[in-house]
């Protein structure tokens, strides 16, 4: 068997963490032949709950799990890790303004970026799930100057999957009939689900639906889906977010079959400001992510992409002192 891959998960006792860990441990992320070590980071008040989660991992007798570490120190959690899944973040509390939120998370992701820089494997793959994911990722990346910016990513795979699912329902097709769909920009209500390059059974997706449905129903439904889940469940998406995180890392490691969506460090592709963590149509081969080139964008798409870019610039500027 291969050497174990070392995986850090932050916010490990939270709802997404709980849904995520057992899928990782069962082999769903890296395959049934890949032993793993899991390093779990939590804040001190959550360590008892985390101990319970670790007991449950033990109780599964997963053959792939070689070691489980619990800690409240980022330096220990990231020591030598090959993959870091940054799930924990500060949720927006009552009366909290957007800048308060960015600031509270800034402290977390500054510390985690530095710890990754100093302790993780040099080719560590970092996925930020905790919101605001793109800007949290930016903060971590900027605080890890010794790591390649391409090591950092923010999750838009949940939006991607939601967009595929909603389109497949609309056209009464199967999810695997849909190809080429992508999410652009920020993991927020400004993100842009792009059907221009998407196909349904090999035919343009926009031939199968009306432009008005696309603009007035579909895009808002994807953008507001998180709120709809909270309204139905009484709590925010956990298992579907965990599933997206598993798929994000699996594709990053094993490669993509179809184009996917990932928030990655922009090198200026499609005119986006360099250095933003921006969701693009991405393919992965040999562990390297590439932005799909020559995608056709009309004026409508361009305006949507500019709007989500503008939001990311604003978020970046609000945390400029942390970068």
Q: Which of 2, 96, 107, 239 binds a second copy (CB under 8 A)?
A: 239
- Our CB check for a second copy shows the closer of 99 and 169 to be 169
Shortest Cβ distance from residue 3 to a second copy (Å)?
Answer: 15
Site for a second copy in 20-59 (CB under 8 A): 21-23, 26, 28, 48-49, 51-53, 55-59
Q: Any alpha helices (H) in 39-142, and if so which ranges? A: 47-58, 74-77, 98-119, 133-142
Q: Which residues are within 8 A (CB) of 100 and not within 5 positions of it... i.e. 6 or more apart?
A: none
Length, in residues, of the chain: 323
- Our CB check for a second copy shows the closer of 154 and 181 to be 181
> What is the full DSSP assignment across 197-223?
T-EETTEEHHHHS-HHIIIIIIHHHHH
Q: Which of 134, 186, 237, 260 binds a second copy (CB under 8 A)?
A: 237
Tell me the site size for a second copy, rule CB under 8 A.
Answer: 46
CA distance 10 to 162: 24
Site for a second copy in 56-75 (CB under 8 A): 56-63
- Our CB check for a second copy shows the closer of 168 and 269 to be 168
Shortest Cβ distance from residue 50 to a second copy (Å)?
Answer: 9
Q: Which residue among 119, 160, 187, 248 is the active-site one?
A: 187
Q: Which of 229, 301, 307, 323 binds a second copy (CB under 8 A)?
A: 229
Strand order in the sheet with 5-10: 65-71, 36-41, 5-10, 83-86, 125-128, 152-155, 260-265, 277-285, 288-291
- Our CB check for a second copy shows the closer of 2 and 239 to be 239
107 binds a second copy (CB under 8 A): no
Q: Any alpha helices (H) in 191-298, and if so which ranges? A: 205-208, 211-212, 219-223, 225-233, 239-254
- The DSSP symbol for 189 reads T
Structure tokens at 124: 């560590």
From residue 171 to residue 210, what is the string marking binding to a second copy with x (rule CB under 8 A)?
---xxx----------------------------------
Q: Which residues are within 8 A (CB) of 304 and not within 5 positions of it... i.e. 6 or more apart?
A: 184, 185, 192, 219
Question: Which residue shows structure tokens 């469940």?
Answer: 233
CA distance 127 to 137: 8
Catalytic residue status for 248: no
- Our CB check for a second copy shows the closer of 23 and 114 to be 23
Catalytic residues: 187
List residues near a second copy by CB under 8 A.
18-19, 21-23, 26, 28, 48-49, 51-53, 55-63, 158, 161-162, 164-166, 168-169, 174-176, 225, 228-229, 231-234, 237-240, 242-244
């Amino acid at each position: 068997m291969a050497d174990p891959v070392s995986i850090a998960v932050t916010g490990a006792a939270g709802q997404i963490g709980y849904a995520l860990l057992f899928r990782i441990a069962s082999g769903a992320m890296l395959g049934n032949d890949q032993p793993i070590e899991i390093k779990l980071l939590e804040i001190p008040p959550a360590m008892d709950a985390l101990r319970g989660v670790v007991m449950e991992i033990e109780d599964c007798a997963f053959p792939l799990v070689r070691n489980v570490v619990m800690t409240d120190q980022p330096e220990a959690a990231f020591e030598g890790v090959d993959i870091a899944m940054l799930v924990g973040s500060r949720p927006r509390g009552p009366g909290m303004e957007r800048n308060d939120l960015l600031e509270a998370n800034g402290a977390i992701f500054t510390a985690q970026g530095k710890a990754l820089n100093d302790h993780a494997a040099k080719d560590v793959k970092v996925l930020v799930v905790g919101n605001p994911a793109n800007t949290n990722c930016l903060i971590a990346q900027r605080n890890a100057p010794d790591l390649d910016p391409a090591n950092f990513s923010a999750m838009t795979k949940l939006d991607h999957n939601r967009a595929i699912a909603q389109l497949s329902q609309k056209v009464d097709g199967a999810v695997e009939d849909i190809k080429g769909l992508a999410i652009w920009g920020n993991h927020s209500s400004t993100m842009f689900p792009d059907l221009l390059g998407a196909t349904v059974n090999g035919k343009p997706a926009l031939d199968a639906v009306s432009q008005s449905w696309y603009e007035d129903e579909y895009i808002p439904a994807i953008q507001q889906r998180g709120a709809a889940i909270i309204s139905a469940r009484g709590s925010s998406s956990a298992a579907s977010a965990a599933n997206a995180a598993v798929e994000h890392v699996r594709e990053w490691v094993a490669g993509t079959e179809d184009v996917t969506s990932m928030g990655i460090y922009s090198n200026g592709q499609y005119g986006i400001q360099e250095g933003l963590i921006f969701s693009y149509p991405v393919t992965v081969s040999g562990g390297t992510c590439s932005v799909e080139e020559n995608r056709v964008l009309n004026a409508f798409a361009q305006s949507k992409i500019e709007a989500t870019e503008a939001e990311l610039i604003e978020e970046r500027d609000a945390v400029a002192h942390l970068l």
